[in-house]
């Protein structure tokens, strides 16, 4: 049983005295407590009923069940659970799958650069570059090939009009590569989740690699199409 505070006991005794002394009083009778607040008659009746049904505790202290907190209209008031703001609003940033550029990324790149430099140095010690004689401005070599990074464009010029081969096709390729990150906005780094971006890049690399290979190995005298195993390599090292 819950022990009733002293001020509630005073209210209950005042309500009981008012009920015994004024049997013919109207229903709107109310009692003022120590703070000057008025207690409705409905609450007084509920308090009287609770006091009559609760037995007195041992030791001379009167105890009774807590009164039902109900208003004049019969609505029951309940205390809601207080929820802390941390459980419904997370203000801390959750750690993501990220690493710092230094030292994680730069250390790996520096190691790869050292490995490539050492490999190039050792390769150049054992194999000499097959360079030709000095260029003669009065004699144009046949075939005359562009450097390997422009050889794909030179190969397109043999197949299409210069406007199409030099402007339209490279422009379309560059526009598609520029719009690829805006079309495929998947933030995942796994290859199986980035099929569109990987497909676009693979098509671009294979298309340009095929053109470079054809221009390097399958073009002979007069830049005509030949097979390297029949006529040999022409101008492949004159780049």
Best-predicted range by mean pLDDT among 18-27, 106-115, 200-209?
106-115
Residues in the chain: 239
pLDDT over 50 (residue 105): yes
- pLDDT at 74 (0 to 100): 57
Q: Hey, what are 14's tokens?
A: 């005042």
Stretch 133-158: mean pLDDT, rounded? Answer: 85
pLDDT over 80 (residue 220): yes
Nearest CA-CA partner of 33 in 55, 18, 49, 53: 18
- pLDDT at 27 (0 to 100): 44
pLDDT over 80 (residue 64): no
- pLDDT at 68 (0 to 100): 52
Cβ–Cβ contacts within 10 Å for residue 9, how many? 15
- pLDDT at 168 (0 to 100): 93
pLDDT over 80 (residue 75): no
Q: What is the 3-state secondary structure (H, E, C) of the chain?
A: CCECCHHHHHHHHHHHHHHHHCCCCCCCCCEECCCCCEECHHHHHHHHHHHHHCCECCCCCEECCCCCCECCCCCECCCCCCCCHHHHCCCCCCCCCCCCHHHHHHHHHHHHHHHHHHHHHHHHHHCCCCCCCCCCCCCCCCCCCCCHHHHHHHHHHCCCCHHHHHHHHHHHHHHHHHHHHHHCCCCCCCHHHCHHHHHHHHHHHHHHHHHHHHHHHCECHHHCECCHHHHCCCCCCCC
Give the domains, in start order, of the chain with CATH numbers: 6-75 (no CATH), 138-239 (1.10.287)
**51/68 Cα distance (integer angstroms):** 12
Cis preceding-peptide flag for 143 (omega within 30 of 0): yes
Q: Hey, what are 238's tokens?
A: 């004159």
Q: Hey, what are 36's tokens?
A: 């000057």
Q: Hey, what are 75's tokens?
A: 């609505």
Radius of gyration for the chain, computed over Cα atoms and rounded to the nearest angstrom? 47
Confidence of residue 119 (pLDDT cuts 50, 70, 90): very high
Stretch 109-121: mean pLDDT, rounded? Answer: 95
pLDDT over 90 (residue 118): yes
Residue 175 CA to chain centroid, in angstroms? 27
Q: Hey, what are 84's tokens?
A: 């802390």
Stretch 86-92: mean pLDDT, rounded? Answer: 56
Structure confidence by residue, pLDDT tens digits, 166-214? 899 999 988 988 888 888 888 888 888 888 888 888 998 999 999 999 9
- pLDDT at 113 (0 to 100): 96
Helical pair 6-21 and 41-53, crossing angle rounded to 10 deg: 100
**9/229 Cα distance (integer angstroms):** 114
pLDDT over 60 (residue 44): yes
Stretch 132-160: mean pLDDT, rounded? Answer: 85
Q: Phi/psi at 223 (nearest 5 deg)?
A: 60, 35
């Amino acid at each position: 049983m819950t022990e009733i505070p002293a001020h509630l006991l005073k209210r209950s005794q005042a309500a009981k005295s008012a009920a015994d002394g004024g049997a013919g009083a109207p229903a709107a009778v109310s009692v003022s407590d120590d703070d000057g607040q008025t207690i409705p008659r409905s609450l007084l009746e509920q308090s009287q009923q609770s006091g009559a049904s609760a037995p007195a505790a041992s030791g001379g202290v009167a105890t009774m069940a807590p009164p039902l907190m109900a208003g004049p209209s019969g609505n029951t008031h309940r205390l809601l659970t207080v929820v802390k703001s941390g459980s419904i609003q997370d203000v801390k940033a959750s750690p993501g799958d990220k690493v710092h550029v230094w030292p994680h990324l730069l250390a790996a790149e520096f190691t790869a650069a050292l490995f490539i430099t050492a490999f190039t140095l050792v390769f150049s010690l054992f194999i000499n570059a097959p360079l030709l004689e000095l260029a003669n401005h009065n004699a144009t070599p046949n075939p005359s090939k562009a450097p390997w990074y422009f050889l794909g464009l030179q190969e397109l010029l043999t197949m299409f009009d210069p406007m199409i081969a030099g402007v339209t096709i490279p422009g379309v390729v560059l526009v598609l590569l520029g719009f690829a990150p805006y079309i495929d906005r998947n933030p995942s780094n796994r290859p199986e989740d980035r099929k569109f971006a990987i497909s676009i890049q693979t098509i671009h690399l294979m298309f340009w690699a095929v053109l470079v290979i054809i221009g390097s190995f399958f073009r002979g005298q007069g830049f005509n199409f030949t097979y390297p195993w029949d006529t040999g390599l022409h101008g492949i090292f004159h780049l």
